[in-house]
């Protein structure tokens, strides 16, 4: 079983993503356990403070180091983490290769930023990897954490009913997936390519590969430049 612990400022944002579809089935099968920790339970003082003004002035609050450090130490005392990941816009960009790698681990700890982020000293002392899901800014790291868990969780053996499905996803071989069709064979004057109805699976594989190449050249030529 893989375990993913998530330290969150707004834990309720993560209730729905993990309660439906593939991730729910992964949990029911005993293949993935996602545990969301409310950072505020480690907050300071009567009002459980978790943020403060940033040194040097400027708009926006910063998550304090003490609550995060306490949460990380308490969780790390119970298990060894393969990675302690901070979700941040200036992290390395999440891609399929990274998701494949992370899916091989047993324990991951995710830290969701909020406001202007977390105190830099937490990043220096505790974080082992920083990941971004795109070149844009969200209100907090919870939604980014949900994206990462979904990308990783579906790759765990046994999670998908047909494990070969993940192997044919876009980006697995630096190519976009080919077009797909289902019934009916004709829809509003558009027909399914005859090759897909032929039953010649070797030729179908060749067609799909050619379509992937063409689609990647047209839409994401940067992926082919990485080869």
Note the pLDDT tens digit of each residue in 210-222.
999 999 999 999 9
User: What's the token pair of residue 128?
Assistant: 């082992």
Give Cα 115 to chain centroid, integer Å.
20
Residues 120-171 pLDDT 10s: 999 999 999 999 999 999 999 999 999 999 999 999 999 986 655 555 565 6
Secondary structure string (H, E, C) spanning 41-110: HHCECCCCECEEECCCCCCCEEECHHHHHHHHHHHHCCCCCCEEEEEEEEEEECCHHHHHHHCCCCEEEE
pLDDT value, residue 167: 56
Tell me: the pLDDT tens digits for 20-32? 999 999 999 999 9
* Topology (CATH level 3) of domain 2-153: Alpha/beta knot (3.40.1280)
- Dist CA 98 CA 219 (whole Å): 22
Dihedral sign, CA of 214, 215, 217, 223?
negative
Q: What is the pTM (predicted TM-score) of this model?
A: 0.89
Measured CA to CA, the distance from residue 218 to residue 153 in angstroms comes to 30
Domain 168-225 has CATH 3.40.190.80: no
Where do the domains of the chain lie? Answer: 2-153, 168-225
SS3 39: helix
């Amino acid at each position: 079983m893989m375990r993913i612990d998530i330290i969150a400022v707004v834990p309720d944002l993560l209730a729905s993503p993990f309660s439906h579809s593939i991730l729910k089935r992964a949990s029911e099968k005993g293949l993935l356990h996602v545990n969301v920790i409310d950072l505020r339970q480690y907050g300071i003082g009567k009002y459980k403070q978790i943020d403060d003004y940033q040194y040097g002035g400027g708009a926006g609050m910063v998550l304090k180091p003490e609550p995060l450090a306490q949460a990380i130490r308490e969780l790390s005392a119970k298990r060894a983490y393969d990675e302690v990941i901070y979700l941040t816009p200036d992290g390395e960009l999440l891609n399929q290769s990274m998701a494949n790698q992370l899916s091989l681990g047993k324990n991951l700890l995710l830290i969701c930023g909020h406001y202007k982020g977390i105190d830099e000293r937490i990043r220096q002392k505790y974080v082992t990897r920083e990941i971004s899901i795109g070149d844009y800014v969200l209100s907090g790291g919870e939604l980014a954490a949900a994206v990462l868990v979904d990308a990783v969780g579906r790759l765990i053996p046994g999670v998908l009913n047909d494990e070969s499905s993940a192997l044919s996803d876009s980006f697995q071989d630096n190519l976009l997936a080919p077009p797909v069709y289902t019934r009916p064979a004709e829809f509003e004057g558009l027909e399914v390519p005859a090759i897909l109805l032929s039953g010649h699976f070797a030729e179908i594989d060749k067609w799909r590969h050619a379509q992937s190449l063409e689609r990647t050249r047209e839409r994401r030529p940067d992926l082919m430049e990485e080869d």
